[in-house]
Amino acid sequence: MSEESSEEVVQPEGYKENPDLLPVQKSERKIGAITFTFMMFSMNTCIPMFFLGPIAKSLGLNVWQAVVGATIGNLAAVVVMILNGHAGVRHGISFPVQLRQIFGFRGTHIPVILRGAAGTMWYGIEAYAGSLALMMIALYAFGLPKAQITPLAIRWLVVALVFYLGTLVLVMGRGLVKGIGRMADFAGPILFLYFIWLAWWLTTKPEFAKHLPEVYVSTAGWLSVNFLIYLAVQTNWWATVALNISDLTRGVKSWWAVWTGTIIGVVLAQAAGTALGFYLVTMAGEVLPHAIIVKYAPGAVAIILGLLFAFLAPWSTDMTANAPPLIDILMNTLRMKWKPAVIVAAIIAFFAAPWWGVESGPAYVNYITAWASNYGILLGPIAGPMIAAYWILRRAKVDVKRLYTYKEKGYWFKSGWGLSAYASLIVTIALSYALAYAYPKYLLATIGGVPFPGGPIWYFAVIVSLILFWAFAKLFKEDKQL
């Protein structure tokens, strides 16, 4: 499909727009397939990705089940990602602006907040991983015995966390994200290569290689609760970016680049990282990649380099992928300026990082599993209307001028709120609860004592909300306004 778009500069009407939300002109979209693939691969290859192997193992899966779960889950998220990314390529618009034709000019704030909430938790999870690596570097440099480094690093992690977030505030507050971010992006791929080398090195040692047959042992069936939980973890991992992918694709030259970048940089890379993490945890008997580095990397140089990239990989991912959605909420909803928003976002991430509730490596794995398997209900009901509005009702076209026009001449619907979108969102959540209670063994989770539709509910929510949005748009005659 053609990605042709007008070079006409859009002038907001009736309100003052954030310059960062104006369309990127076609002449300024310079990211090609190779660059975009590397971008997605760099965002993907961070420390939490290597927890996907330990998560699968803790659920009783074998390496084949882990890889299949990774492939199916990420492919499902990537399908949504590709469909939602087309608007960015063709029209140069960002996620909050893209939502206006669906949820209404005023109604966009709630889905932006829901997406930002999911990103905030990942901001904290990544910050924990990077800060842990920093603290372990410091303890190793002081010459502490290897057996003491991991528990002490977890105990004193909050000190490193302040430094970790402080450096992010310094870099982002000074507007150095692009320069330092590009340099730091190499940390992810290098970390990936580092773990490949470390896994190979472990296989050369009989005391580790003897555990390799264990990777094929499974205590959970393909249709078991544990496999479905793992499928949900893998799917939700990228279901966040599947919504706001246009924030990235608005600078991409062609839709083909989005296809190649997501399939190679997300699906294939995550499947490979899952297998790598599974082999490492099986051979080493440790769930924390940091602990594997400290205990088993051969020599001081290998340990320091491994921990350094274990810090830089999540640091760069937080800077480029996790912090921006939270900052967007603070800027667009609370009208904060850039620098205060960066500082407030870091403070929120400080409390989102699980330093207050994680006392060991297995506890960290359990924390990630509980979160990643149960937040799909926040995102699925947004993805369905986005796909239906753009591809079914609008046939992959958007009146860009109306997206930047306040009140009736724009995407105003009912007082600035899209009735179809919110009706589909509310009904989808209600139906998700009904389904979860009908199949509690598979779909009902409890978070803080509150019942929650969890597991692979994202799949149900995407499909149902898509159908409901189309039906409500016809019922409320909002399809005529699209």
Residue 357: which of 184, 148, 154 has the closest Cα? 154
CA–CA dist 294, 144 (Å, integer):
11
pLDDT of residue 237: 95
User: Each residue of 11-35: pLDDT tens digit?
Assistant: 899 998 888 889 999 889 999 999 9
Q: How far is it, in rounded angstroms, from Cα 115 to Cα 103?
A: 14
The mean pLDDT of 221-237, rounded to a whole number, is 96
Q: Sign (positive/negative) of CA torsion 257, 259, 261, 262?
A: positive
| Model pLDDT, residue 9 | 80
Hey, which bits of 170-314 come out as E strands? Answer: none
Q: How would DSSP label each residue in 451-471?
A: EEE-TTHHHHHHHHHHHHHHH
* Residue 13: predicted pLDDT: 94
Nearest to 17 by CA among 365, 403, 343, 305: 403
Is the pLDDT reported for residue 450 higher than 90?
no
Q: Is 414 exposed, middle or buried (0-12, 13-18, 19+ CB in 10 A)?
A: middle
CA-only gyration radius of the chain, Å: 22
Q: For all residues of the chain together, what is the average pLDDT?
A: 92
Q: What is the pLDDT of residues 170-189, one digit of tens each?
A: 888 776 555 455 555 688 89
| pLDDT tens digit sequence for 55-69 | 999 999 999 999 999
pLDDT of residue 466 exceeding 50: yes
CATH number of 30-480: 1.10.4160.10
User: What's residue 6's pLDDT?
Assistant: 45
Q: Say if residues 336 and 330 touch (Cβ distance below 8 Å).
A: yes
